[in-house]
Each structure stands twice: as C-alpha cells, then as structure tokens.
Amino acid sequence: MNFLDSTECPSDDDVPNCFHFGNKSVYARSPRIPVIAEGVRVPMLLDTGAEVTILSSDFLHRLFPEQDLPDQGRNVRSLGGNHIPIKGPVTLTIELCNLMLRHPVYYCDSFARV
C-alpha cells in the first residue's frame, strides 16, 4: 500500500479530529487513507460506521467541471442529531487498497454543521 505523505493530508496541529479519554494532551487523528477517485489520488477519512459516503460539492465539481450534478437528495442525521441535507448520489469509480469499486457517493455544500 502507498501510504500518504505529509503533503497529501494537510492538518491543523491545534485542532485534533479525535479525542481519547485520559491525558488531555493525548489524541489521535482520524484515519485517512489514500484513495483514487475517478483517477485522482486523495486522502479520505475511513469511517467504518457511516451509512453513506459524503464528499464536498467543490471536490465533485473539480472532478466533473462540465457535468451537471444531480439536485435531488435526502437528509442524514449527524452524531449530534442534526439533520444535514445532502445531494446525490453520484456513482464514482474508486480504487481502495488495489480494489476497484463503483460506489455511490453523496455531496454536501458545507461540512460546517456536520
């Protein structure tokens, strides 16, 4: 497996994504793995408990600049109980650990409320 290098996964060292119980200075970042989506290598968060895959609308517009993306969508519930409107799905070719998948993904204009 080709692991991500530090330039592929920008981080903000002051804002950890995943806290652990115990010493307040100890935390772990969420696991990001290299994925190839429609030929573009990107770091993605691997959330094994998620029921849908959600990408930013900006990323999908960069993948398909000349294509109109579907406007239909649905709501999903975040861990905090908020309802988040998402659009899609769009079926992408995704390579994950040398396995090729055709996988439906949804997209969201903003992750601020997620």
User: For each successive 10 residues of the chain (114 residues), what is the average pLDDT?
Assistant: 59 43 55 90 84 90 91 86 90 93 90 49
To the nearest 10°, the Cα dihedral for 13, 81, 102, 70?
-110
Alpha carbon distance 32, 90 (integer Å): 22
Whole-number pLDDT of residue 32? 83
Overall pTM surpassing 0.85 (yes/no)? no
Whole-number pLDDT of residue 105? 94
Q: Is the alpha carbon torsion for 65, 3, 20, 10 positive or negative?
A: negative
Whole-number pLDDT of residue 78? 81
Whole-number pLDDT of residue 26? 55
Whole-number pLDDT of residue 40? 93
